[in-house]
Amino acid sequence: MTATTDGTGAHPPRAAEAGHSTIAEPLPAAAGAAKTHEAAERATARAVEHLLSRQDEQGWWKGDLETNVTMDAEDLLLRQFLGIRDEETTRRAARWIRSQQRPDGTWATFHGGPAELSATVEAYVALRLAGDGPDAPHMAAASAWVRGQGGIAATRVFTRIWLALFGWWSWDDLPELPPEIIYLPKWFPLNIYTFGCWARQTIVPLTIVAAHRPVRPAPFVLDELHTDPRRPNPPRPLAPAASWDGFFQRLDKALHLYRRLPVGALRRSAVNSAARWIIERQENDGCWGGIQPPAVYSIIALHLLGYDLDHPVLRAGLESLDRFAVPRENGEARMIEACQSPVWDTCLAAVALVDAGVAPDHPALVKAADWMLDEQVLRSGDWTVRRPELPPGGWAFEFHNDNYPDIDDTAEVILALRRIAHPDRERIGTAIRRAARWTLGMQSKNGAWGAFDADNTSKFPNRLPFCDFGEVVDPPSADVTAHVVEMLSVLGKEHDPRTRRGITWLLAEQEPSGAWFGRWGVNYLYGTGSVVPALVAAGLPVAHPAIRRAVDWLFSVQNPDGGWGEDLRSYRDPEWIGRGASTASQTAWALMALLAAGERESEAVARGVAWLADTQREDGSWDEPYFTGTGFPWDFSINYHLYRQVFPLTALGRYLHGEPFAADRAREPRES
- 166-218: per-residue pLDDT in tens? 999 999 999 888 999 999 999 888 899 999 999 999 999 999 999 999 999 99
CATH of the domain at 272: 1.50.10.20
Range with the poorest average pLDDT among 1-10, 511-520, 660-669:
1-10
In a shared domain, residues 84 and 154: yes
pLDDT value for 662: 53
Average pLDDT over residues 267-276: 95
DSSP 11: P
In a shared domain, residues 55 and 174: no
Collect contacts of 50-56 with beta carbons under 8 A, ≥24 apart: 50/619, 50/620, 50/621, 50/645, 51/349, 51/352, 51/353, 51/620, 51/645, 51/646, 51/649, 52/353, 52/358, 52/364, 54/645, 55/349, 55/364, 55/367, 55/368
In a shared domain, residues 52 and 139: no
Average pLDDT over residues 303-317: 96
For residue 25, is pLDDT > 70? Answer: no
Q: How many CA atoms lie within 13 A of 22 on its CB side?
A: 7
- Does 561 reside within a domain? yes
Cβ neighbours, 10 Å, residue 492: 15
The distance of Cα 218 from the centroid of its chain, to the nearest Å, equals 33
DSSP string, 108-125: BSSTT--B-HHHHHHHHH
Average pLDDT over residues 353-358: 97
- Does 466 reside within a domain? no
Closest to 177 (Cα-Cα) out of 540, 419, 468: 468
469 vs 142 pLDDT, higher one: 142
- For the entire predicted model, the pTM comes to 0.91
DSSP 20: -
Cα gap 578→527, rounded to integer Å: 11
- 403-457: per-residue pLDDT in tens? 999 999 999 999 999 999 999 999 999 999 999 999 999 999 999 999 999 999 9
For residue 109, is pLDDT > 80? Answer: yes
For residue 8, is pLDDT > 80? Answer: no
Average pLDDT over residues 132-161: 96
Average pLDDT over residues 118-138: 98
Collect contacts of 312-317 with beta carbons under 8 A, ≥24 apart: 313/279, 313/282, 315/286, 316/282, 316/285, 316/286, 317/282, 317/286, 317/287, 317/288
In a shared domain, residues 482 and 631: yes
In a shared domain, residues 330 and 436: no
- 533-573: per-residue pLDDT in tens? 999 999 999 999 999 999 999 999 999 999 999 999 999 99
pLDDT value for 361: 96
In a shared domain, residues 345 and 322: no
As a whole-number percent, the residues of the chain with pLDDT over 70 amount to 92
- Does 3 reside within a domain? no
5 vs 150 pLDDT, higher one: 150
In whole numbers, what is the pLDDT of the chain averaged over residues? 91
Number of domains in the chain: 2
Cα gap 482→506, rounded to integer Å: 7
Element (H, E) at 373: helix 363-374
pLDDT value for 19: 37
123 to 7, 238, 451, 544, 636: CA distances (angstroms): 18, 31, 31, 50, 16
For residue 671, is pLDDT > 60? Answer: no
In a shared domain, residues 47 and 96: no
pLDDT value for 165: 97
In a shared domain, residues 318 and 387: no
In a shared domain, residues 319 and 417: no
In a shared domain, residues 148 and 56: no
Cβ neighbours, 10 Å, residue 96: 22
In a shared domain, residues 39 and 140: no
- 62-86: per-residue pLDDT in tens? 999 999 999 999 999 999 999 999 9
- Does 20 reside within a domain? no
Asked if 176 contacts 256 with a C-beta cutoff of 8 angstroms, the reply is yes
Cα gap 464→472, rounded to integer Å: 10
Q: 390: which residues sit within 8 A by CB, 6+ positions away? A: 383, 384, 437, 438, 441, 442
In a shared domain, residues 170 and 51: no
Average pLDDT over residues 47-52: 98
Average pLDDT over residues 506-531: 97
Asked if 383 contacts 441 with a C-beta cutoff of 8 angstroms, the reply is no
- 589-643: per-residue pLDDT in tens? 999 999 999 999 999 999 999 999 999 999 999 999 999 999 989 889 999 999 9
Which are the catalytic amino acids?
408
- 209-236: per-residue pLDDT in tens? 999 999 999 999 999 999 988 887 777 7
- Does 222 reside within a domain? no
Asked if 369 contacts 429 with a C-beta cutoff of 8 angstroms, the reply is no
Task: Tell me the residue range of the domain where 111 lies.
Answer: 66-217+240-336
For residue 243, is pLDDT > 80? Answer: no
